[in-house]
Amino acid sequence: MWNHQIDANLIYVALDCCGKDVNLTIQLLFAFEQWKFQNNNEQNYKKRINKFLKKRCCNHNINLFIMFYCKNKTVDPIKVSTVLTVNDCLPFKKLAKYFFKKLFMFHNYFIVSLIKT
């Protein structure tokens, strides 16, 4: 997660869990990163991966985060991940890539038009 890339969907879900509080979200993501490597939690997720995939929850970062977030709650992380995927249309990676491409093209057009004038 912290190898100079972070999943936009993970940021969105963490922000949503924290009520859009950025500082709380950063703390939550930091705690998640530490939890991921304790007690073989990532390995435990890999044992349950097929159950998530059967419900069309294909973003492994989100699934692992939901397992972390629901660890002390009485809800099933697979159901929570499924609801997030369906309600929030996760992942939105393709849509974000489309908008960044359009923004980049607009930026280049704007620069070229400035140079020509």
Range of the domain at 62: 8-92
* pLDDT score of 106: 47
In a domain, 105, yes or no: no
In a domain, 111, yes or no: no
Please count the structural domains in the chain. 1
* pLDDT score of 8: 80
* pLDDT score of 22: 87
pLDDT in tens, 83-109: 777 666 665 555 555 555 555 554 444
* pLDDT score of 35: 93
Residue predicted with more confidence, 62 or 117: 62
In a domain, 117, yes or no: no
Whether the full predicted model's pTM is greater than 0.75, yes or no, is no
**Separation CA 48–CA 56 (nearest Å):** 13
The tokens for 12 are 């969105």
* pLDDT score of 27: 92
Q: Are 83 and 70 in contact (CB under 8 A)?
A: no
In a domain, 114, yes or no: no
* Neighbouring C-beta atoms of residue 54, cutoff 10 Å: 10
Residue predicted with more confidence, 31 or 75: 31
* pLDDT score of 88: 66
In a domain, 51, yes or no: yes
* pLDDT score of 109: 47
In a domain, 98, yes or no: no
In a domain, 104, yes or no: no
In a domain, 106, yes or no: no
Handedness of CA 61, 62, 64, 69 (dihedral sign): positive
The tokens for 7 are 């999943």
